[in-house]
Chain A
């Protein structure tokens, strides 16, 4: 077959998915620099074709740059085309002056390995100075060498992939193993080495998953640890407070959407959610709950009714459908820790965030005037009152803080869960279990309780499945509470009664 030229390939773009993919591949192999903007536009769904067959990007002729007179219909792509584009764009961009583009290109070439890439990668490697990109290029080169016909290159490829030790490398080695019987022994060795690394990583990742689940539970339970643990109010509307926090995030995001502050909407949501839910908390406490102190079970029914009303209000105002809360770029994707352990950014942030909130609350209780008063009221309400503390005001403030923290938890949960009126219902029982398990009235207990539950759950999950793991954890807590009715960290002395 005659070598096609760049011009002869152009009409094939958009013909059928198969033809488009082939044309893109051929353009990538040709290394014509004109192809790159064209392929990028195609990948981003911006490449169109006019009725008379001209290619158009954003209203301008794709090749000449003149304004296109007639309207264009955008070319459609599918996964097959996208795979071809990734390889072609990778080959073309590997000479890019931009380091990030080169890194992405090396990754793309690795994924769409082909023996033809060997010289290209060797040349790129010779030019490259940055160690990170060099490592990627070497991996891509190893992958391409492995499927080349050069036995020495194949061995080098196996070694490079074994060195990388990723699941992708393992995948590739297994893919090749059947057709390269002479390399089977070396490949098996490489796979065994990779498996060793992967087992370590998987263990580390399970640990991370457990900590992540634990931090979510911690956030959800922290507000309850204050309203229930400190004040003894069973707030069944706690989950709804969390949900309101998530909706506040949505509202803040929508309000800032078209302003320059859009990138800051998530951090700004934290104080906003705190204020909104704390205000609602104060209103509830002053208006309703304070009439029921000393009657925890009545409060339970009262707050259950309030929860129903809050949930339905949100459903009527925002609709029953999920609302979209965007993640900022720094909360998307995974972070590669040393040792190749991949952790998802959003969950990593939530772990830090949960700990920060916990530390802030503990500090506030220990070091501020409000904290002192709160502790005084918890220990002995009457004497605190005689000392001139306005106990009513302290109650309101405590409930406000508890509700506000629930709202903050909602901001964090908006990053991993649905923002829907039902958001809170899923967390309420777990939160109660965490507080009771950790020991009512002890924030440290809440931390330890949440993390223990999170880790146990994730360690059991691979063996028992998600449902049974959860059931097992619940049963475990019930048995534990029976052994130690006051939880892990029981308050001692009078305050415990």
Chain B
């Protein structure tokens, strides 16, 4: 990261030298600032990503209502990568090379981010990635506004092991078979071992995407829990598979009082598709809940309801992360007095935003935000009751100390 430490003036010079031909100083004053939106609107990921598209559109609208940035209007460029990973790379190139966007907000899955990463690095674009992920990555062209594992998974398991969380000493790790659950569970296993919970007290099971028949696995968890030790479930189950999972949990009578579960991918949006009454007390760990009480959140939620025209729609953590990323970028552009990538990147470091989660979040030089961790219990109305939170924001460890290979990582 040494190369990033040049001063603002030289960065500006480099920026203008490298800048795309679209940025002519005179005529550009009138030209709008282009904001790329790279979220799947069709296919399997549309279920999660459409709300993020709408969030970016809302932010653009609000920013324009406030007079734009640097006196220029903002214009959103929306494309549909259709939950298809090679298409993500193609659309990223299209946004950067054809539409010549100044910044892009996009991606949900890790594989989509991995797919577009080489394109953003080659064309020196700027991507804001708003979803919690497994870490083990840091690109100078990406700002990660979701949580790294130490900002979500580890505090959640610590809570499960505490007196308030039930004092679990036996953990079932259930996940969808892809890199985020695998990594998170690897980190958690290292963490649990360090806390004296041996491998005999850890169960790990993976299922395919969209898995809908959870009968056998839930029954096995029940058997696993019948060993005389307080047991808890840690779920990294992704997306669509959660509804059938929670239905089975409820119907097989697994109550949060007996076997609590904590999920890292289940938010308000996912709960909107489930009858939550049998699930009261099950947990989720995030950096934001819709039920947070803060002035910024009230503004966010009411703005969202106004924009989407439906007061029953919920907000969730990745939406908040999108909002925080957007605000920081807007501040950085204002500070850098240009939208050119290199100066904006420099200006991003140390940028602070009073976020809806109720804290002031800061962007660090590791391209990750410091974030508070909150644990919420599912309530009958589909919202979360926040039962625990960290004192303040935690700095991201995107390279986890619980993964031994990170010791000989190339820097």
A residues touching B (Cβ–Cβ < 8 Å)?
A: 17-18, 45, 76, 78-80, 82-83, 86, 111, 167-168, 170-177, 198, 202, 205-206, 209, 212-213, 216, 312, 315, 319-324, 326-327, 332-334, 342, 344-347, 415-422, 425-426, 458, 461-462, 465-467, 470
Contact = CB atoms under 8 A, between A and B. Distances in A.
8 contacts: A82-B256, A171-B225, A171-B228, A321-B50, A322-B274, A324-B272, A333-B253, A416-B244
B216 A416 contact: no
Contacts of A326: 275
Nearest to A334: B253
Contact of A78 (B41, B164, B210): B164
Contact of B273 (A213, A315, A418, A467): A418
Contacts, number: 166
A331 to B, nearest CB: 8
Given A78-B281, A344-B215, A467 B226 contact: no
Interface string B196-210: 000000000111101
B347 interface: no
Sorted nearest first, the 5 A-B pairs with minimum C-beta distance are A322-B273, A174-B228, A175-B228, A167-B226, A344-B251
B217 A321 contact: no
Interface stretch (B30-38, B329-337, B379-387): B379-387
B283 to A, nearest CB: 8
A334 B225 contact: no
Contact of B164 (A18, A175, A425): A18
B98 interface: no
B56 to A, nearest CB: 15
A426 B163 contact: no
Contact of B379 (A45, A320, A344, A465): A45
A266 to B, nearest CB: 12
Given A79-B256, A213-B215, 4 more contacts: A212-B215, A321-B47, A333-B250, A417-B212
B210 to A, nearest CB: 5
A45 B273 contact: no
Contact of B250 (A17, A76, A332): A332
Interface string B43-67: 1101101110000000000000000
Interface string B236-250: 000010011001101
Contacts of A315: 42, 46
A202 B281 contact: no
Nearest to A206: B216
A235 to B, nearest CB: 21
A324 B272 CA distance: 6
A470 B212 contact: no
Contacts of A322: 47, 240, 243, 270, 272-274
B146 interface: no
B177 interface: yes
A417 B385 CA distance: 26
B253 A462 contact: no
A173 B228 contact: yes
Contacts of B41: 320
Contact of A171 (B226, B243, B278): B226
Interface string B254-268: 001110100000000
Given A78-B377, A80-B163, A422 B217 contact: no
Contact of B208 (A76, A174, A467): A467
A470 B41 CA distance: 29
Contacts of A344: 215, 248, 251-252
Contact of A466 (B207, B260, B269): B207
Contacts of A174: 226-229
B50 to A, nearest CB: 4
Contacts of A216: 213
A332 B45 CA distance: 29
Nearest to B225: A171
Contacts of B223: 167, 198, 202
B211 interface: yes
B166 interface: yes
Contacts of B166: 79-80, 83
Given A78-B377, A167-B222, A319 B50 contact: yes
Contacts of A213: 213, 215
B251 A321 contact: no
A417 B243 contact: yes
B384 to A, nearest CB: 11
Contact of A470 (B208, B257, B269, B377): B208
Interface string B129-159: 0000000000000000000000000000000
B68 interface: no
B51 A321 contact: yes
Nearest to B385: A76
Contact of A17 (B164, B211, B229, B244): B164
A415 B240 CA distance: 14
A76 B207 CA distance: 35
Nearest to B276: A324
Contact of B247 (A202, A416, A466): A416
A79 B227 contact: no
Nearest to A44: B380
B72 interface: no
Contacts of A466: 206-208, 211, 213, 216-217
Contact of B216 (A177, A320, A461): A461
Contacts of A167: 222-223, 225-226
A83 B260 CA distance: 11
Nearest to B213: A213
Contacts of B274: 322, 324
B18 interface: no
A461 B216 CA distance: 8
Contacts of A78: 164, 281, 377, 385, 387
Nearest to B375: A78
Nearest to B281: A79
B257 A312 contact: no
Nearest to B274: A324
A320 B252 contact: no
A422 B216 contact: no
